[in-house]
Structure 1
Amino acid sequence: MSTHAPAQRPAHDVLIVGGGLVGASLAIALEAQGLDVGMIEAAPAGALPPVFDQRNLSFAEATLNALQALGVLPLLRAPTGPIRRIHVSRAGDFGRMLLDAQAHGREEFGRVVVARDFGEALEARLLQLTQLTRYRPARFVGLGESADGLRRVRIADASGERELRAKLLVAADGARSAVRDALGIGAREHDYGQTLFVARLRAQRAPDGTAYERLTDHGPTALLPRGDGHYGLVHGVPREDAEAVAALDDAAFLARVQDAFGWRAGRFLAVGPRSAYPMQSGIAEALIAPRAVLVGNAAQAIHPLGAQGFNLGLRDALTLAECIAAHPGDPGIDAVLQRHAERREEDRSRTLAFSDGLAKLTANDAPLLRPLRSAGLVAGDAFGWLQGWLVGGAMGYRGDVPALCRKVAA
């Protein structure tokens, strides 16, 4: 693996734009196929992309299975937190829903992983690859004329601007995807009017494997059971209040979160540094173009309620890798891309509908919706078939699931 490739080189089989969670995972998944893979990364060697910060990632069981098979999970250094129960309630509504893994024959639904630790594990695994050329720091500039079954891609780095060629171009460059724009693929955008504050929180009661989701008119407040004895906090506030909330000292911020969440974890004692993220979604109107495909947030950036984002993006990457393996020789032919789009349709549409519908319904304070929401929480808690449907989705088993996701983690 080289940090800088020669100025003139044969075309890559696959060129990935974006070295974040999904782009890096795809590069690892393609290694076993012996393909010549290039990856364009904004972060320089020795630095992690900004996405690998102190936020907490909820990995579904299907994701854990895949990361174990890809050799990433064993490289995590920090302890992970098991999610054995999922507790959902809403302020002002009657009822609550509790999903228990043991009731469904599982030890856990998934695990909570700190994004920075995951980024370091991915980087360690990338360093083991032999078929990967990394262009970093570099940025995507635009597309050249495509000919001879190749995509021509312009990048800029310390040496100036140059052109790369690839049989298949993969856009893994995030919600504001420059590659998606260059391909002429539109996106349906929605602003939820919320800002999410993310931090590490210490409470009177240590995590016991329960992930809490407390819903309010102004957004969710979630506590995720980390492996270090703390909780991962996600606290949603109206966009117009975000600046004032960011200015609160720790004591005032804890009091605000305690008021929104309640006392199920006891008194909140301390909070770490906070990061804020405006909540918007962007859904690409197409997943594929000639010799190009969108994955991860470039394909769909969704509300974090339900913790579906990275899990969905990883299934994008693994499905693409399987489709490429099924058609050896040219990863960019129409048969590969059409099959990928077909296989992603059910999982993607169901997950998007679940995430967006839940976010809009729970944030709507209309009095007429209260009985409906309460009935939904009670039904989710009472009916086994409904719980089974929710659990399958929470664990990452929707639609045509990639084979690596179904393997039992060691």
Structure 2
Amino acid sequence: MVETHPAPVHPVLIVGGGLVGASLAIALDRAGVDAALVEATPPASMPAVFDERNLSFAEATVNALTALGVLQKLRAPGGPIREIHVSRAGDFGRVKLAAADYGRDAFGQVVVARDFGEALEARLAELPRLVRYRPARFAGFDGIEDGHRVVRLSGVDGDMRVRAQLVVGADGADSAVRRALGIDAETHDYAQTLFIARLRAARAPDGRAFERLTDTGPTALLPRSDRHYGLVHGVSSEEADAVAALDDAAFLARVQAAFGWRAGRFLSVGPRSRHPARRVVAARCIDTRAVLVGNAAQSLHPIGAQGFNLGLRDALTLAEVIAGAADPGAPGLLERHVARRQDDRTRTLAFSDGLARVTSNPARLLRPLRSLGLLAIDRDSALQAMLAGGAMGYRGDVPALCRGVAA
């Protein structure tokens, strides 16, 4: 990549080609907004985030990704989530939600991140107006000139400058864009490590998603469409190395002991990956001609599977707000974006963090309170409806595509 003069100019420059950044590029194209995408991986390669992780898409997310033409590109359909079972080891009571009780076939569906990445790439390839800088990395800002942020990109052939009316940081929890803007972030380490894998059990998935909560984090089974479950197994960070060293038989025995026998005997497990559970929340999401979305704005504990769903709603709201605008980086538009996102962001952050902290607290005095809470939710239709709405992605000012409305 060589220095060019004058610098290329774009209405919107998205830094980060992962789940949210790629989805935003597709949403902007649908809204008639020209955009450029900065991707660290070269053509024919996939970002590391598109691995064997299992993504739980809320109904609102399924609606939007279908409208954007992404889910139609999946090689196989996602696994529907028709029931959600939540319980906690050592506490009595449990919560069971059924989509049919709310007139739905499913709360959402489970998709393997690798398959989703391939579907996104197939859809991106259909966008003739999209400019893709790859492989390239964000290297910093060089000020603001004539209503444009000047961005330095670093690639295999050197550095270049790009100008954009609006720069979108979609580059993850350790966002370089956020740091370059001087935006602080609050970080909390839950002292948990999550092991992710594909798991086969004696009972094939039947649409039920299970979340078993423990002192060291959740153990969840998500129903995939390939007769396997997507496994999330949380352990304390202190024992993560020891758990990683277990052979498959010992690892399965550990997960079986943590989860129980609701899915029958665990028979086999695929390759495992490990991920620290952290909460990273940006102090603010906008700056002059810049906005943060997805994990760059907020990275959540994966309990309750809120992260990507929340980030996608960031992206879709931004696309709605700037559609048709002569200047997508105008301060009033960015403030409107923040206002629209505030309720959803605040409530989802509070739900995820509160659930992670309360359910993993080993204090004996909390056990009867948690048990009573589980019993109350299971018997109170209003509380269940509130949880179900959140599980389906309907919090706050919901983007039109999430509601199944053409935007």
TM-score where L is the length of structure 1: 0.97
2:280 alignment partner, one of 279, 282, 289: 282
Aligned to 1:122: 120
2:404 alignment partner, one of 395, 404, 407: 407
1:304 alignment partner, one of 302, 305, 320: 302
Check whether the contact 2:82–2:207 (CA below 8 A) recurs between aligned residues: yes
Check whether the contact 1:145–1:152 (CA below 8 A) recurs between aligned residues: yes
Check whether the contact 1:152–1:166 (CA below 8 A) recurs between aligned residues: yes
Matched, 1:379 2:390: no
2:109 alignment partner, one of 88, 111, 116: 111
Aligned to 2:226: 228
Matched residues in 2 for 1:19 and 1:269: separation?
36
Aligned to 1:273: 271
2:68 alignment partner, one of 70, 81, 89: 70
Matched residues in 1 for 2:129 and 2:345: separation?
30
Moved more, 4-13 or 56-65: 4-13
Check whether the contact 1:199–1:274 (CA below 8 A) recurs between aligned residues: yes
SS at match of 2:262: coil
Aligned to 2:55: 57
Mark the CA change 1:142 to 1:5 in structure 2 (over 3 Å): closer, same or farther: closer
1:361 alignment partner, one of 355, 358, 375: 358
Matched, 1:349 2:350: no
TM-superposed CA distance for 1:76, in Å, is: 0.5
Cα distance per residue 1:139-176 (max 9 Å; x no partner): 11110011210000001112211111000000000000
Matched, 1:38 2:36: yes
Check whether the contact 2:2–2:159 (CA below 8 A) recurs between aligned residues: no
Mark the CA change 1:256 to 1:323 in structure 2 (over 3 Å): closer, same or farther: same
State the AA in 2 paired with 1:205.
R
TM-superposed CA distance for 1:8, in Å, is: 4.2
Cα distance per residue 1:209-250 (max 9 Å; x no partner): 000000011111000000000000000000010000000000
Cα distance per residue 1:37-61 (max 9 Å; x no partner): 1111101100010000011000000
State the AA in 1 paired with 2:64.
A
TM-superposed CA distance for 1:32, in Å, is: 2.7
TM-superposed CA distance for 1:7, in Å, is: 6.2
Matched residues in 2 for 1:174 and 1:88: separation?
29
TM-superposed CA distance for 1:408, in Å, is: 7.3
Check whether the contact 1:84–1:109 (CA below 8 A) recurs between aligned residues: yes
State the AA in 2 paired with 1:143.
F
Matches within 5 A, 1:42-191: 42-191=40-189
SS at match of 1:229: coil
Pairwise CA RMSD? 1.4
Matched residues in 1 for 2:405 and 2:328: separation?
28
SS at match of 1:401: coil
Aligned to 1:370: 367
Mark the CA change 1:11 to 1:390 in structure 2 (over 3 Å): closer, same or farther: same
Aligned to 1:250: 248
Cα distance per residue 1:159-195 (max 9 Å; x no partner): 2111110000000000000000000100000000000
State the AA in 2 paired with 1:261.
F
TM-score where L is the length of structure 2: 0.98
Matched residues in 2 for 1:6 and 1:383: separation?
63
Check whether the contact 2:3–2:161 (CA below 8 A) recurs between aligned residues: no
Matched residues in 2 for 1:5 and 1:352: separation?
41
Cα distance per residue 1:362-398 (max 9 Å; x no partner): 0001011011100111111111000000000000000
Mark the CA change 1:4 to 1:131 in structure 2 (over 3 Å): closer, same or farther: farther
Check whether the contact 2:3–2:159 (CA below 8 A) recurs between aligned residues: no
Aligned to 2:13: 15
Aligned to 2:208: 210
SS at match of 1:367: coil
State the AA in 1 paired with 2:384.
Q
Amino-acid identity (%): 68
Matches within 5 A, 1:332-347: 332-347=329-344
SS at match of 2:302: coil
Matched residues in 2 for 1:4 and 1:192: separation?
43
Aligned to 1:321: 319
Matched, 1:389 2:386: yes
Mark the CA change 1:180 to 1:266 in structure 2 (over 3 Å): closer, same or farther: same
Mark the CA change 1:408 to 1:165 in structure 2 (over 3 Å): closer, same or farther: closer
Matched residues in 1 for 2:345 and 2:218: separation?
23
TM-superposed CA distance for 1:78, in Å, is: 2.3
